[in-house]
Amino acid sequence: MLQRSVFALLLVLLSFPQASTPTRQDDAEVQTTLAAFIQAFDNLEWDHFRSFFADDATVFYPRAIPERAQGRAEFEAAFRKVFEQIRAGRQKPPFMDIQPRGMQIQVAGKAAIVTFHLDDRPGFINRRTLVLVKMGQDWKIVHLHASEVARSQ
Distance separating alpha carbons of residues 19 and 30, to the nearest angstrom: 17
**Residue 117 pLDDT > 90:** yes
pLDDT at 153: 65
DSSP 41-89: HHTT-HHHHHTTEEEEEEEE-SSS--SPEESHHHHHHHHHHHHHHHHTT
What pLDDT is attached to residue 152? Answer: 82
What is the torsional sign of CA 31, 135, 106, 53?
A: positive
Query: Can you give the residue range of the structural domain that contains 105?
Result: 2-150
Count of structural domains within the chain: 1
pLDDT value of position 138: 97
Using CA atoms, how far apart are residues 114 and 103, in angstroms rounded to an integer? Answer: 7
What are the pLDDT digits (tens) for 6-18?
A: 554 444 444 444 4
pLDDT at 62: 87
Q: For residue 112, what is the domain's CATH number?
A: 3.10.450.50
